Structures are given as C-alpha cells and as structure tokens.
Amino acid sequence: MNTPDLIYLDHAATTRTLPEAVRAMLPYFTEVYGNPSSAYGFSDRPREAAARARKQCADVIGADASEIFFTSGGTESDNWALTAAVLSGRGRRIITSAVEHPAVLRTCAFLEAHGARVTYLQPDREGFLSPEQVENALTPDTCLISVMTANNEIGTIEPIREIGALAKRHGILFHTDAVQAYCHIPIDVKRDHIGLMSVSGHKFGGPRGTGFLYIRKDVKIGALLHGGPQERNRRAGTENIPGIVGMGTAAELSASRLAENTGRERALRDRLVSRVLSEIPGASLNGPPVNGGQRLANNADFTFDGIRSDALLIRLDLQGICVSAGSACSTGALTPSHVLTAIGLTEEEARGSIRVSVGPENTMEEIDRTADALRENIQKMREMISSF
C-alpha cells in the first residue's frame, strides 16, 4: 500500500513485491537455505521449491515447466536469447523493431560490432509493427525475429501471434520480450508460436533480480553463462531460491487476479486520460487509443506542448507523485526517448512527455489528485515561460 503522502504511478518501472511472495520467500533465507544442487536431504526442500516455482511460472503461459530457465531478470534473458540465436549457426541477421527495450537494442548493437546484421523496423504512429513489415524484411540469413509483446513506454500491444505464425511458416526462431506483458495480458506460447520469451519478476509483484527465459522444447540454443550444471546446463550459477520462490508465488497470484486487476487499472487509467486531455490545453496521448484494446490497461503516455518533462517530474516529486519520463532504464539520459522519436515525435515533443502507469492498489482519489497536480503545475510552468 502507498504511504499517505505518496502516490506511486510508475508500476511499469517496478512493482511492490506482493506480501504473499515475501512470506513465501522468508524461510529460504533462514531455515531452508540448502544449496539445491547438493546431494544431501537438506537440499530437497529448496530443490522442490524451485520445481514448484518453475511450474507456477510455466502455467501462466501454457508452457511446460521444463521450458522455464531462471535468470536474474529481463535484461539477462534478452541478452541470452539474442546472443545465443546468433551463435547457433542458423544465420547472422536479427530482425527487430526500433522501439524495443534497451536490453534488446544494446545487445543488437553489441552483436553488430561482432559481425551480426540487424534490421530495425520502424513502427507506425501508434507504435505498431505489421506482420507484412516483418515478412518483407526476411533474408536467407535471418536467424531470429525479436519483437516485444507490449511496449514499456507507450503500452502498444504488438501482433505477436501473427508475427509468431509467419516466423513458424518460414522456419525462423521468434523471440519476444514480454517483460511488460507477462501477468498483465493473456499469453499462450503455443498459440502465439513463441520460441523464446523474456520475463522479469519485479514487473508483476515478484522480487527484483529475478526472471526467466522460456525456451521451447525444440529450440536448441547454448548457454550465456558458463560454469556449473545448474538449470540443466543452460544457466550456470547457484540458484536464487528465495527469489525464485517469490517470483513463482507472484506469478500464480497475479495470473489469478489478471482480469480483476486489468479492469481496475483500465478504469483508473481512463479517468486520468479523460481528465488530462479535457482539462489541459496542448496535451496529447502517445500510442494507441485507450478504447481500442491494443494498449496495456495500466499505461498512459502524455506529451504537453511547451513543457520539459524533467522540470515537471521534479514538481510532481515534491508533491509526492511518482511518474516517469519514459523507461526507468533511461532515467538521466540526455537524449529524448527513442520510442517517442521512432513513432514520429520531434525531440522537443519527446522531451515534454511523461509516462504514467497505474497499479491495482491505486485509487480514484489518487488519480484525481494527480490530474489536479498536472493541470496546476503545467499552468504555472507555462505562465513562468510566458513571463520571460
């Protein structure tokens, strides 16, 4: 629960660890601390706990438990998927989008520096890629298509089922970064023809530093980390059992509450969007419309004409309101959001944009207080600018 003086509206950056997940984790810090790779009986419970969590994570997406490989989070999973695909011998070209998370884009840049070739597809004004774009970009040496399930800044839900189907048709591996989507929208790895999928635990009420890479049974890729035989020789390093237990618990609970949480978040988000667009002159919504069904229910990204988001965020922070100017991984960057410029905003417009991402614990009162604060602060900022 938020403190009385805090309105937390940056759930796309991280979520509060669910109390049930914390309680489930605690024994594995203190009482049941055995190394699950050890042979003695004291390690049985940690080993069984990891197996249970593996199934909990798999059930959310219709996968088999044997297809879940625990990692430290979405960044590691993305790095593993892309790097292993290039090293697999299938080819040297990756097809991806210009609006991917930096964990994908910077891995692509690293691989390009080592001889790989990357095609960056440009989305439309709402952030969508079309399957036809992807298909037209295919070349004989394409080894991987990597398109995120849902965008972390503007909430666009990409047509991954159609992209996955064309990847299957052409015999090409399909990876999706589902960090913002897992436990927030329904995903079925079989229906969507997904070969590799990246997930991060702290985006759905799990602890930070946890995640997994889904690897379909028939996909043969190598390890990213080398050492011991953990994760069936795919990911070396002693398992983070408390974190794994917490993530599994959060996955099961969040999936069971998905419909309820989505409905609540959509109502909160729609209230904020309605008030901002009707009460603040020069405000616009980036990404898809809120009523089209192709946008994450908790996401709103606004541009305010003539306003610098960094200055606005400072004012809101002083009032106890937490929002962001885009991806949390890019905070402090001097350059404007690559997502917003990729969908056609100017650099000036991108620098005047903020992202609001609600959670199921937010209230309508908090939304109204935030809308009031945005209106009042933007009016004051514009008055100050016009007085110079």
Q: What CATH number has the domain bearing residue 266?
A: 3.90.1150.10
User: Distance between CA 377 and CA 311 in Å, rounded?
Assistant: 10
CA 325-251-15 angle, 5° bins: 25
Q: Are residues 80 and 140 in the same domain?
A: yes
Q: What's the total number of domains in the chain?
A: 2
125 falls within a domain? yes
307 falls within a domain? yes
Q: Are residues 329 and 190 in the same domain?
A: no
Can you give the residue range of the structural domain that contains 92? Answer: 19-256
Q: Are residues 230 and 217 in the same domain?
A: yes
Tokens encoding 199: 């997930």
CATH of the domain at 246: 3.40.640.10
pLDDT value at position 334?
Answer: 57
**With contact defined as beta carbons under 8 Å apart, do 112 and 119 qualify?**
no
Query: For the chain, how many helices (H) and strands (E)?
Result: 14, 12
Q: Are residues 248 and 344 in the same domain?
A: no
Task: Identify which has the larger pLDDT, 386 or 297.
Answer: 297
27 falls within a domain? yes
Specify the pTM.
Answer: 0.95
Q: Are residues 262 and 244 in the same domain?
A: no
Q: Which residues contact 180 (CB under 8 A, 6 or more apart)?
A: 12, 148, 149, 150, 151, 152, 155, 203, 296
1 falls within a domain? no
Tell me the pLDDT tens digit for each residue of 48-57: 999 999 999 9
Q: Are residues 41 and 133 in the same domain?
A: yes
Tell me the pLDDT tens digit for each residue of 70-101: 999 999 999 999 999 999 988 999 999 999 99
113 falls within a domain? yes
Specify which residues 197 forms β-bridges with: 176, 214
Q: Could you tell me the CA-to-CA distances from 97 to 130, 149, 158, 284 in Å, in that order?
A: 11, 11, 11, 24
pLDDT value at position 1?
Answer: 47
Q: Are residues 202 and 98 in the same domain?
A: yes
Q: Are residues 252 and 302 in the same domain?
A: no
Backbone conformation region of residue 143, classed left if phi is above 0, alpha if psi is from -120 to 50, else beta: alpha
Residues marked active site are found at 329
Domain boundary among 226, 256, 286: 256
